[in-house]
């Protein structure tokens, strides 16, 4: 790439999309109302597990404004919601894939499971009619607890009588056993990775329209990946022709993974829109979001780390039970396996790693990817046990990490990944400086003088993102490709519209991607528009998740721009009466090398569309190029975090006093946007560590069903962050050298927080604090240590 003096790459340009968002001109799904709009309300199960004896809808049918009511019987003939990743158990059998019906047929399996859809002229009428539907339930025992689900006598699905979806493993068990046998020290820890509820600021919503004139459907939906949504819905659920369904994901207010999946509601709406003959809109109420958005995390894990006498890691053994919830969500199966166990090497040259994962069904909402998706859980395992091992061996935790860092690249881990590049010492060294670790002991003494316990905690994380090489993913069970598509459409005036299969729901692609294209073409930022989120505009898309947008989606755009430039050179060569190979493209100009003869980009674009003086015998008119980019490897952002926490032992209150982060994201296009991602990731990571914990009671009722009981982090829970992006080690295998930053910080930060709290309480004999470390829980931990 040409990096000229005024490079747009690496500049914190203000976000192009912010004018519309700040002025309220964003168009979200719920903002879209269509002629003859009707509204849907879903009747949901109040029980976690029950057989439906009967559904009485007569009174609701007679209610004012009601257009239609459909129940599971109406949907019985169509497909269930598919799972996009096949995991094969250790015994060679495929995972259990019970049908995930769009509307429950005879059994409801979690509170909030949809039982009926009521469609009416107005939302109020739909809700009023829904309240008149009487469902006769035969309540069944609920399976709720992750750890014991496989031993529960109640089966949630007949195809999985022991509630086990799969039992999967990675690594060489015998080699790990052998390493443990000769270990000088073994550190063991059991813990729970707390279940989280996503809570994007915009709840899920959909609006489906059937057009009788051409037998086509349009679905507006809160989706991170509209093409995948369309493919799954048409091919696997509704049996509709893919080309007759247009899916639009307009402005979307946050996803964090929860809007990747194909959900029942939008399938029901599309299906019903033809029967009702009017567009149908549904927007989740927040309480519905709590009950039905796919949740995240929910692991129960035992980990063991074997070390030699010098503190070198010999082997890691991990056993995890992962909760899938009541049904397999779109990518649920790959999260605690492919995206989890493969991360367990972290930044360390641990020679042997074995991980066994049992995935279980429970009568809870489906669990799927949530910012980080498997990788936060893995990082938590590793960074907690490394810190605990340091404490047990009385080795400084920074020193123990250093002794085990991977220092030569590429590095093949024992759990299937090959890191292309990294410099873990660099980010660690820098974070120790910006965190002022040297000043910690003085601050600890100052806290102690106030009766407060101060602790310091570290986390050195890696993550695998830029998901993913399709062939590798396919070999691991993916049922989809994981490339990305891009199109660069140059207009006759030299202005450019870019169509990307990535989807922005807060990430700022309209700015970042435009920076890349404008820089490459030597044109202004305002000369480039980024379009996304509409299957009718964008040729194809795999979507945004797994910190893949710039690394994969951006790379596809770079490839397309390269093609534009290549064609432009041929056009310019003709115009300048030079050979193709004599043309260079520099700062927006096609030049004959070594001369002052040149054509501006816009002149070449104009010639392409007004081809009067043009090599029509050799070259098509027009300047419009597509590209698909399939990465050859994952990308591996990494970084080091330091958290300082102050614990009030009389109340259990934890205050994060300082948090310093130094990340290596490879090359950075817009530092401001990256810093925003770091801040957001820290808020989410600290939220998981201190505040957020989804709780079901033993009947499967969601106790944390609203913000009254589910604690989201707030600004005053957070310190002034000290963050820095390292100069970094650019990714070696994508054209931009970028690694991705969307998930990294939510992955790396929770263990730093808990390590700090454990350090603060270590003097009391505490060796672990469970997440979320709420005041009550920390107080309980202190009381237990005193006993």
Partner 1 sequence: MSTVSYHRPASVAEAARLLAGNHDARLLAGGQSMLPSVRLGLLAPTAFIDLAGIPELQRIRADAKAISIGAMATHAAVAESREVQAQIPALAQVASGIGDRQVRNRGTIGGSLANSDPASDYPAAALGLGATIHTNSRALAADEFFKGLFETALKPGEIISAVSLPVPDRAAYVKFLQPASRFALVGVFVAQFGKTVRVAVTGAGACAFRVKALEDALAKNFAPQSCDGVVVAATRLNSDIHGSAEYRAHLIPVLTRRAVLQALG
Binding residues vs partner 1 (CB under 8 A) = 64, 124-125, 128, 650-651, 691, 695, 703-704, 707-712, 774-776, 779-780
Show the tokens assigned to 208.
């489906």
Q: How far is the CB of 63 from partner 1 (least distance, A)?
A: 9
Residue ranges of alpha helices (H) inside 169-277 are 173-181, 226-232, 264-276
Q: How far is the CB of 127 from partner 1 (least distance, A)?
A: 9
Q: In the complex with partner 1, which residue's Cβ is closer, 90 or 711?
A: 711
Q: In the complex with partner 1, which residue's Cβ is closer, 9 or 120?
A: 120
Q: How many helices (H) and strands (E) does the chain have?
A: 19, 28
Q: In the complex with partner 1, which residue's Cβ is closer, 615 or 775?
A: 775
Cα–chain-centroid distance for residue 216? 31
Q: How far is the CB of 28 from partner 1 (least distance, A)?
A: 22
Q: How far is the CB of 718 from partner 1 (least distance, A)?
A: 14
Q: How far is the CB of 222 from partner 1 (least distance, A)?
A: 23
Q: How far is the CB of 131 from partner 1 (least distance, A)?
A: 8
Q: How far is the CB of 69 from partner 1 (least distance, A)?
A: 17
Q: How far is the CB of 25 from partner 1 (least distance, A)?
A: 24
Q: In the complex with partner 1, which residue's Cβ is closer, 271 or 290?
A: 290
Q: How far is the CB of 142 from partner 1 (least distance, A)?
A: 18
Q: In the complex with partner 1, which residue's Cβ is closer, 534 or 692?
A: 692
Q: In the complex with partner 1, which residue's Cβ is closer, 626 or 780?
A: 780
Find out whether 32 and 205 touch, Cβ atoms under 8 Å: no
Q: How far is the CB of 198 from partner 1 (least distance, A)?
A: 16
Show the tokens assigned to 213.
């004139």
Query: How open is the CA angle 772-773-775, to the nearest 5 degrees?
Result: 125
Q: In the complex with partner 1, which residue's Cβ is closer, 665 or 710?
A: 710
Q: How far is CA 239 from CA 220, 233, 323, in A?
A: 19, 8, 30
The sign of the torsion formed by the CA atoms of 609, 611, 617, 619 equals negative
What's 318's DSSP letter?
E
In terms of C-beta density within 10 A (0-12 exposed, 13-18 middle, 19 or more buried), how is residue 173 classed?
Answer: middle
Distance CA 569, CA 572 (A): 5
Q: In the complex with partner 1, which residue's Cβ is closer, 474 or 775?
A: 775
Which stretches of 288-384 are assigned E, i.e. beta strand? 299-307, 313-325, 352-361
Name the CA radius of gyration of the chain, rounded: 27
Q: In the complex with partner 1, which residue's Cβ is closer, 319 or 648?
A: 648
- Residue 379: φ, ψ to 5°: -65, -35
Collapsing DSSP states into helix, strand and coil, what is residue 100? coil
Q: Residue 612: CB partners within 8 Å, gap ≥ 6?
A: none
Q: In the complex with partner 1, which residue's Cβ is closer, 36 or 650?
A: 650
Q: In the complex with partner 1, which residue's Cβ is closer, 89 or 780?
A: 780
Find out whether 9 and 516 touch, Cβ atoms under 8 Å: yes
C-alpha dihedral (505, 510, 516, 519), degrees to nearest 10: -160
Q: In the complex with partner 1, which residue's Cβ is closer, 654 or 738?
A: 654
What's 655's DSSP letter?
E
Q: In the complex with partner 1, which residue's Cβ is closer, 12 or 287?
A: 287
Distance CA 379, CA 382 (A): 5
- Of 470, 468, 541, 469, nearest to 499 by C-alpha is 541
Regarding beta strands 453-462 and 205-211, do their DSSP bridges make them parallel or antiparallel, or are they unpaired?
Answer: unpaired
- Of 148, 173, 151, nearest to 162 by C-alpha is 151
Find out whether 547 and 52 touch, Cβ atoms under 8 Å: no
H or E segment to which residue 196 belongs = none
Q: In the complex with partner 1, which residue's Cβ is closer, 59 or 610?
A: 59
Q: How far is the CB of 235 from partner 1 (least distance, A)?
A: 40
Distance CA 356, CA 546 (A): 23
Q: How far is the CB of 151 from partner 1 (least distance, A)?
A: 25
Find out whether 186 and 306 touch, Cβ atoms under 8 Å: yes
Q: How far is the CB of 655 from partner 1 (least distance, A)?
A: 13
Show the tokens assigned to 385.
């046990």
Q: How far is the CB of 660 from partner 1 (least distance, A)?
A: 24
Find out whether 545 and 465 touch, Cβ atoms under 8 Å: no
Q: In the complex with partner 1, which residue's Cβ is closer, 639 or 687?
A: 687
Find tokens 């899938």 and name the residue.
324
Q: How far is CA 313 from CA 346, 385, 396, 397, in A?
A: 12, 11, 15, 13
Q: How far is the CB of 650 from partner 1 (least distance, A)?
A: 5
Q: In the complex with partner 1, which residue's Cβ is closer, 622 or 775?
A: 775
Q: Encode burial over 645-677: b for 16+ CB neighbours within 10 A, e otherwise.
A: bbbbbeebbbebbbbbbbbbbbbbbbeebbbbb
Q: How far is the CB of 32 from partner 1 (least distance, A)?
A: 25
Q: In the complex with partner 1, which residue's Cβ is closer, 181 or 695?
A: 695
Q: In the complex with partner 1, which residue's Cβ is closer, 126 or 328?
A: 126
Q: Residue 170: CB partners within 8 Å, gap ≥ 6?
A: 337, 341, 342, 353, 354, 355, 415, 416
Q: How far is the CB of 693 from partner 1 (least distance, A)?
A: 8
Q: How far is CA 544 from CA 212, 359, 467, 532, 618, in A?
A: 32, 25, 10, 11, 38
Q: How far is the CB of 205 from partner 1 (least distance, A)?
A: 19
């Amino acid at each position: 790439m040409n990096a000229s003096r005024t490079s747009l790459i690496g500049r914190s340009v203000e976000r192009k999309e912010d004018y519309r968002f700040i002025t309220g001109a964003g168009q979200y799904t719920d903002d879209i109302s269509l002629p003859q709009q009707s509204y849907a309300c879903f009747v949901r199960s109040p029980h976690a597990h029950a057989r439906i004896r009967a559904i009485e809808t007569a009174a609701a049918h007679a209610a004012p404004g009601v257009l239609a009511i459909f129940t599971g019987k109406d949907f019985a003939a169509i497909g269930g919601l598919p799972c996009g990743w096949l995991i094969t158990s250790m015994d060679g059998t495929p995972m259990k894939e019970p049908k995930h019906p769009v509307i429950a047929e005879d059994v409801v399996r979690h509170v909030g499971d949809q039982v009926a859809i009521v469609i009416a002229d107005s939302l109020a009428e739909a809700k009023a009619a829904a309240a008149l539907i009487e469902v006769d339930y035969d309540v069944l025992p609920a399976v709720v607890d992750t750890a014991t689900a496989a031993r529960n006598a109640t089966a949630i699905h007949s195809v999985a009588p022991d509630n086990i979806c799969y039992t999967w493993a990675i690594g060489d068990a015998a080699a790990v056993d052998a390493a443990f046998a000769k270990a000088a020290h073994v550190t063991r820890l059991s813990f729970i990775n707390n279940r989280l509820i996503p809570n994007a600021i915009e709840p899920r919503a959909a609006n489906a329209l059937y057009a009788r004139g051409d037998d086509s459907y349009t679905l507006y939906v809160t989706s991170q990946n509209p093409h995948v949504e369309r493919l799954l819905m048409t091919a696997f659920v509704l049996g509709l022709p893919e080309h007759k369904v247009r899916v639009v994901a307009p402005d979307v207010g946050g996803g964090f993974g929860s809007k990747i999946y194909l959900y029942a509601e939008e399938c029901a709406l599309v299906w019903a829109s033809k029967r009702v003959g009017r567009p149908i809109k549904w927007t989740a109420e927040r309480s519905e979001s709590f009950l039905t958005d796919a949740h995240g995390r929910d692991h129960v894990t035992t980990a063991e780390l074997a070390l030699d006498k010098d503190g070198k890691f010999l082997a890691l053994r991990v056993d995890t039970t992962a909760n899938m919830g009541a049904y397999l969500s779109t990518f649920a199966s790959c999260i605690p396996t492919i995206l989890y166990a493969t991360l367990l090497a972290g930044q360390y040259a641990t020679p042997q790693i074995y991980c066994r994962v049992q995935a279980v069904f429970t009568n809870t909402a489906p669990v799927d990817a949530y910012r980080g998706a498997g990788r936060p859980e893995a990082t938590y395992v590793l960074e907690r046990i490394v810190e605990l091992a340091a404490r047990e061996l009385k080795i400084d935790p920074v020193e123990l990490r250093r002794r085990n860092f991977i220092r030569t690249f590429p590095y093949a881990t024992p759990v299937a990944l090959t890191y292309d590049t990294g410099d873990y010492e660099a980010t660690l060294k820098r974070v120790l400086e910006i965190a002022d670790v040297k000043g910690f002991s003085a601050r600890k003494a100052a806290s102690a003088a106030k009766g407060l316990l101060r602790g310091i905690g570290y986390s050195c994380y890696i993550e695998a993102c830029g998901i993913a090489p399709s062939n590798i993913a396919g070999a691991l069970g993916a049922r989809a490709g994981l490339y990305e598509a891009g199109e660069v459409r140059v207009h006759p005036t030299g202005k450019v519209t870019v169509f990307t299969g990535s989807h922005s729901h807060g990430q700022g692609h309209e700015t970042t991607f435009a920076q890349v294209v404008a820089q490459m073409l030597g044109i202004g930022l305002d000369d480039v528009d980024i379009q996304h989120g509409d299957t009718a505009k964008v040729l194809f898309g795999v979507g945004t998740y797994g910190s893949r947008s710039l690394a994969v989606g951006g790379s596809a755009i770079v490839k397309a721009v390269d093609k534009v430039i290549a064609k432009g050179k041929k056009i310019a060569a003709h115009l300048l009466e030079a050979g193709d190979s004599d043309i260079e493209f520099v700062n927006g100009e096609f030049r004959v090398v070594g001369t002052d003869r040149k054509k501006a980009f816009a002149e070449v674009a104009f010639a392409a569309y007004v081809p009067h003086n043009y090599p029509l015998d050799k070259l098509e008119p027009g300047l419009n190029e597509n590209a698909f980019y399939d990465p050859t490897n994952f990308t591996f952002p990494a970084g080091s975090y330091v958290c300082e926490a102050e614990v009030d032992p009389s109340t259990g209150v934890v205050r994060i006093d300082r948090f310093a982060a130094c990340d290596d994201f490879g090359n950075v296009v817009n530092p401001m946007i990256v810093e925003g991602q770091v801040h957001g990731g820290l808020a989410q990571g600290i939220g998981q560590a201190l505040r957020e914990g989804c709780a079901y009671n033993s009947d499967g009722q969601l106790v944390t069903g609203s913000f009254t009981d589910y604690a989201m982090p707030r600004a005053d829970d957070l310190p002034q962050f000290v963050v820095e992006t390292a100069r970094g080690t650019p990714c070696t295998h994508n054209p931009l050298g970028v690694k991705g930053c969307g998930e990294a910080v939510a992955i790396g930060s929770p263990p730093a927080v808990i390590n700090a709290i454990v350090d603060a309480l270590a003097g009391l004999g505490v060796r672990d604090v469970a997440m979320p470390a709420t005041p009550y829980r920390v107080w309980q931990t202190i009381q237990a240590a005193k006993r």
